[in-house]
Chain A
Amino acid sequence: MSIVINIWINEERLAKLQKVGLADLAEEQLAGLKVLKVPCTEEQCEKVLKVFPTAKYDSATTKSIELLPREVKDKIFDKVVEKGSLDAMADFLKDY
């Protein structure tokens, strides 16, 4: 299973996705939640954990990077919207 960053879709994020016609990028998870599953390579995962020390890679259960600050996720989200694709981590990490 590949590593992902889960960006959970709150009302603000949903409005942005709908505005640019990208609402279909979000998957339904856990009984009705919407989430963008942004893939990360192992190298990207390592860099994210190094740059954002509060983040945690949940290797045991979900294989996802969790506990990134909300504003960081907002930036990744904006990158996804800008590119129109979930494949956004390389671009996002260029700034770090």
Chain B
Amino acid sequence: MSTIGHGGKELVERIMAPEEAARAIKGLTPVPIRGQIAREIIDLAYGFFTPLEGFMTRADVDRVCREMRLANGVLWPIPIVFDLSDQEISEKGIKEGEKILLTYQDKPMAILEVEEIYTYDKQEMALKVYGTTEEKHPGVARTYKYKDKFLGGKITLVNPPKINPPFGEFFFTPKQLRQKFAEKGWQRIVAHQTRNVPHTGHEWLMKGSWLQAHGELPVEKTLTGVLVNAIIGEKRKGDYIDEAIVLCHDVLRKAGYFREDVHLTSITLWDMRYAGPKEAVFHAILRTNLGLTHHMFGRDHAGVGTYYDPYDAHRIFDQIPESDLRIKPVRVLAWWYCPICAEVTYSGLCGHKAQSQNFSGTLIRSIIQDGVKPPRLIFRPEVFDLIMESAEKYGFGSAFVNDKYLAERNPVFTLPEMKG
């Protein structure tokens, strides 16, 4: 099993043994962090963000913004930064060259070795990463919300999180996932990025990508797999609840729409930036680290509004030398419903464009909100039933995020009490 990640670097793992951790945190200044930073610490510590070992310093951020590369030249499209206000820095007496203890849920989480405290022009960052300075772009809004200063430096996880049900069975570190692929005998694995409950358009995107990725390999044994990698992060009102997204993807296999030996569901903790083409590159890097060989990119991947052309996220890979990425993009058009073909079919093959009917996750959400059960050709009944079950079990009666869910949901992960 290879443990080489993005940039040709060994997968990063920065986790301290419990006894050592208990000693190491003694006397460190505690600094509370928010959810986004906690999720990114998990990603950094387990190697999802290899070769990053911590939050970026100014040199990294600057080159990422200007050239889509880290200071060491490795391809990287989105700044990974930790921000604090001047007041917090002053009150806590945080200085370069010192270590601080990052806390979450009122528990110790990670040690940050503060290498650099710096500023960066947020408008410049937004423009370079997102191609716009408009605050209605959610990635830009997130950038503008960063506090006065950024702190760069290595992090070490001192208190590994417990991933709570129902997510625990879907969380794999990059090394664990690679082990899983090896056990399954998969030589090629194609990623399906998702933050949606699957309709049959998604199902066919996955099946089509599997065929593309499998290519010339022999067919007697299963050598190719589909990895559903659901992005779990900050939620917005009206989104599907996280539990429904993950469980409904998994039920596609359990209900036989995918064979047991070709499909696996997993999660990654990440707050979507909606950076369109740049986020596509980021997703490719993330899935490289997970051990995948192919990544499917559909129409308007990670886009928002009309900021990006629907196929910008395909074209950006034309500008990246093959040697910079250890994963192959699989570019696909939409699948639509054709009443003439009487099936969900690939828009690149179907000749009935005038009669075709597009559908999206948003459209299906509207159908369900209107109290209508979509037909099985469009939406699998097992998925529909599981949405309703998830609504009762996890969503306080709603399959969609509302105020109550935001305030009272069971957290995706919990930091345990530290011993010692």
Residues of A at the B interface (CB closer than 8 Å) are 6-10, 12, 28-33, 54, 56, 58-62, 64, 66-70, 73
B238 within 8 A of A: yes
Sample (30) of A-B pairs whose CB atoms are under 8 Å apart: A6-B366, A8-B367, A9-B372, A10-B371, A12-B371, A30-B337, A30-B377, A31-B337, A32-B375, A33-B372, A33-B378, A54-B238, A58-B360, A60-B299, A60-B300, A60-B303, A61-B300, A61-B358, A61-B360, A61-B363, A62-B362, A64-B363, A66-B362, A66-B363, A66-B366, A67-B238, A67-B365, A67-B366, A68-B366, A73-B370
A30 touches B374 (CB 8 A): yes
B378 touches A8 (CB 8 A): no
Main secondary structure of the interface of B (DSSP, over half): loop
Give B370-393 interface residues, CB cut-off 8 Å to A: 370-372, 374-375, 377-378
Residues of B within 8 A of A29 (CB): 357
Chain A, residue nearest B366 (CB): A66
Residues of A within 8 A of B358 (CB): 61-62
Residues of A within 8 A of B362 (CB): 56, 58, 61-62, 66-67
- Closest Cβ of chain A: how far from B154's Cβ, in Å? 39
B237 within 8 A of A: yes
Q: Which of B299, B310, B339, B363 contacts A6 (CB 8 A)?
A: B363
Chain B, residue nearest A65 (CB): B366
B186 within 8 A of A: no
Residues of B within 8 A of A8 (CB): 366-367, 370, 372
CA–CA, A51 and B378, complex, Å:
31
Residues of A within 8 A of B310 (CB): 60
Tell me the count of chain B residues lying within 8 A, CB to CB, of chain A. Answer: 29
CA–CA, A73 and B371, complex, Å:
11
Residues of A within 8 A of B370 (CB): 7-8, 10, 70, 73
B371 touches A58 (CB 8 A): no
Per-position binary interface string of chain B over residues 196-231, scored 1 when its CB falls under 8 Å from any chain A CB and 0 otherwise: 000000000000000000000000000000000000
B369 within 8 A of A: yes
Give B273-310 interface residues, CB cut-off 8 Å to A: 299-300, 303, 305-306, 310
B144 within 8 A of A: no
CA–CA, A7 and B366, complex, Å:
9
- Closest Cβ of chain A: how far from B366's Cβ, in Å? 4
A31 touches B378 (CB 8 A): yes
Residues of A within 8 A of B337 (CB): 30-31
Q: Which of B306, B365, B371, B372 contacts A66 (CB 8 A)?
A: B365
Counting chain A CB atoms within 10 Å of each CB, the highest count among B310, B366, B370, B372 belongs to B366
CA–CA, A32 and B367, complex, Å:
13
B359 within 8 A of A: yes
Q: Given the interface contacts A54-B237, A54-B238, A60-B303, does A30 sit within 8 Å of B357 by beta carbon? A: yes
* Nearest 8 interchain pairs by C-beta: A8-B370, A61-B360, A66-B366, A31-B377, A10-B371, A8-B372, A60-B300, A31-B375
Residues of A within 8 A of B367 (CB): 6, 8, 33
- Closest Cβ of chain B: how far from A17's Cβ, in Å? 14
